[in-house]
Chains A and B, each alone.
Chain A
C-alpha cells in the first residue's frame, strides 16, 4: 500500500469512529451571559468570538471522548436586571451545566447568587472587582485576574528593567474604580519598596491637570503612576509630555483601551500597563488560540483570550471529573484545575476559586500596546 492511501484509510476509519461516538455522546451545555449591547458591548463581542472558537476547538480535538460542548450565548445588556433574567433562563429553562460570564463585575454581584443558590457552577471571565465575586460561594470561579494580581507582578518586572526608586501618583478620587485602582497601586508600590514622593488627585470632569503634574514633577519622581479612565488618562499623558516629562508613565487597567492610544496619539508612546494576556507568547496554547481566531477573522484582545480560556477550563473540569457532566461533577472538576496550558499561560484555580497565571507587562510602541519581554 502506498503511504497516501494509508492516510486516507486511516482518515476514513477515524471518521467512522467520530460519527459513531457522536451518536452516543453527552452534551455539556454552557450558558454564556455576555454584554453585547450597552456600555460594555465592546467586550461582549470579542468574548463571544472567543467562546465560540474554543467550543469548536475542544470538540474538534477529541480531548473529551463521548462529550460534546455546546454554547448558548445571550446578551445581558450590560445591566443587572437583564443579567438576572438571563441567569434564571439558563438555570431553569436551558438547564445549562455551567455558566460563563457575566461580562461586568457589577452584573455578577447581582446574578451570580442565583447560580450559587441553584448550585450551578459559574466561570467569570472578565470580572476584576477584588471582592464580592468568588466570595459569593463555592460555585463561583474566576479566570480573570484582579487588578492587584496584574499590577503587583507587572510592576516588579518593570522595576527590575528600569530600576526606579521614587514614584509620583495621580488618581481620580471621585470614582470607585479609579480610587480602587489607586489603592492597588499604592499597595504594589509598598510591596516593591518604592517610595511615593507625592500624590495628587483630580475629578472626572477635569480637563486641566497641569497644576497637579507640575507639583509632582517638582518632586522629581522616576515614574508617574496614574489611575484614571481612558478619557482622563489621555489628557493626563498629553499634558505630562507637554510639561516636558520624560519619565515612564504607568497606567492602571483604565489605560488598557484602544480609546486611550487613539486620543493621546504620539504622547502615549512609552506608557506602560499590566495585562492578563501576553499576546506574543510563543507557548503552544497561545499560538493555537491565535490561529483559531485568525481563521475566524477576529483580532483577539485580552477579553477574547480570557473567554476562550474559560471554555478550556470547563473542558478540563469535565475531563478531571472523568467525563461526568453533572453540575456538581463540573464544580468539583473546576476546583481541581491545575497547571492547565491556556492562551493566558499555565492556569490554576486557587482554593478561593480565583484563578492565577503570570500576567505580562506591555508598553505603547508605534501606537500599539506591545508586550515587554
Chain B
C-alpha cells in the first residue's frame, strides 16, 4: 500500500511537472501548445547526448538540457505562434502549427537518434534504494519528486511575487490592456514559452532518468495525460495542474494494481469525462482561471 502510494506520487510528479508547462502557456495565451510533448522528448535526448558524448555527470546535463528546452520554447513561439497571434482564429491556427512543429521535432529526433530506445550507460545514474513509508524508493526517484516540488514552489513565487509574474498575469487578463499600461507583450509571451518548455523539458529528462529510456516517441505517453491533467485541474490553473497530476499518478497506479494494466487509460479518461460533466471548469478552474 505504502509502496503503491509512493509509485503513484512519483508518476504524479512527472505528470504535474509536464502539465504545469502546458497550463502556463494556456493560461497566458488561451492556446494549447501541442508541441509540448515533443520538447519533453527532445530535451531528454539532449541530456542523453551530453552524458554520452561529453561525458557530463547528470547533475550538469540536467540543467543544460532544461536550458535547451527553454530555447526550443523560444523557437516554437517565434515559428509557430507569434506569426499567427494577431489573427482572429489564432487559437485553432496555433494549435495546428504547434502540431506541425511537434511532427518536425519528432522527425528530427528520428533522423538523428534513430527509432530505437536509447539508454544512459549503466553506472551514470545513482541506483541506491532507501526505505520510506513502508516501501522502498530509489534515491533517484526521491530526488525527482523533491525537484518537482521545488520547481512548483519556485514557479508559484515567480508568478505571484516577481515583476515578470505580474506581467504574465496582466497579459493573461488582457493582452491589449497590458500593452496599454506599458507591458512588453511579445517579451512576456516569449518568457512564458521559455518557462513552459523548460518545465516540459525538465519532466522529459526526469522521466528518461527514472525509466532509463529515451526514444523519439516517448512524448506520446504523456501527451494525452498532460492534456487531461490540465483539463481536470482547470485550464490555466497551476495549483490545479499539480493536484490533478498527482491525482492521475496515484489513480493510475491503483487501477493497474487492482484492476489490471489494460484498464489504466480507459479509467483515467473515464474519470476525466466525469469531472468534465460535474465540473466543466475543472477542479480549480472557477477560482483561478486567470491566475496563470
Contacts and interface: CB of A to CB of B under 8 A. Distances in A.
B86 to A, nearest CB: 39
B253 interface: yes
Contacts of A218: 3
A201 B260 contact: yes
B229 to A, nearest CB: 16
Interface in A213-233: 214-215, 217-218, 231
B220 A205 contact: yes
B129 interface: yes
Given A173-B262, A215-B256, A207 B211 contact: yes
A215 B135 CA distance: 12
A263 B122 CA distance: 8
A244 interface: yes
Given A200-B261, A205-B220, A243-B3, A212 B256 contact: yes
A201 B263 CA distance: 10
B213 interface: yes
Interface residues of A, number: 25
Contacts, number: 70
A238 interface: yes
B113 to A, nearest CB: 15
Main secondary structure of the interface of B (DSSP, over half): helix
A215 B213 contact: no
Select the residue from B138, B211, B218, B254 with max chain A CB neighbours within 10 A. Answer: B211
B122 A265 contact: yes
Contact of B122 (A173, A231, A266): A266
Contacts of B135: 214, 243
A38 to B, nearest CB: 15
Interface string A261-273: 0010110000000
Contacts of A65: none
A263 B254 CA distance: 28
A122 B215 CA distance: 40
A145 to B, nearest CB: 29
Contact of B221 (A200, A207, A231, A266): A207
Contacts of B11: 208
Contact of B262 (A201, A215, A235): A201
B257 interface: yes
A173 B261 CA distance: 9
Nearest to B257: A215
A298 interface: no
A299 interface: no
Contacts of A235: 211-213
Contact of B136 (A200, A215, A242): A242
A8 B265 CA distance: 79
A243 B6 CA distance: 11
A202 interface: yes
Interface string A51-87: 0000000000000000000000000000000000000
A214 B260 contact: no
Nearest to B8: A211
A235 B129 CA distance: 17
B41 to A, nearest CB: 13
A244 B136 contact: yes
Nearest to B5: A214
B167 interface: no
Contacts of B122: 265-266
B7 A200 contact: no
B236 to A, nearest CB: 28
Interface string B255-277: 01110111000000000000000
Contacts of B103: none
Contact of B138 (A200, A205, A242): A242
B119 A201 contact: no
Contact of A211 (B7, B117, B262): B7
Interface in A168-214: 173, 200-203, 205-208, 210-212, 214
Given A173-B262, A201-B261, A215-B4, 15 more contacts: A205-B220, A206-B221, A207-B218, A208-B210, A211-B4, A211-B261, A212-B261, A214-B3, A214-B4, A215-B258, A231-B213, A242-B129, A243-B3, A244-B136, A263-B119
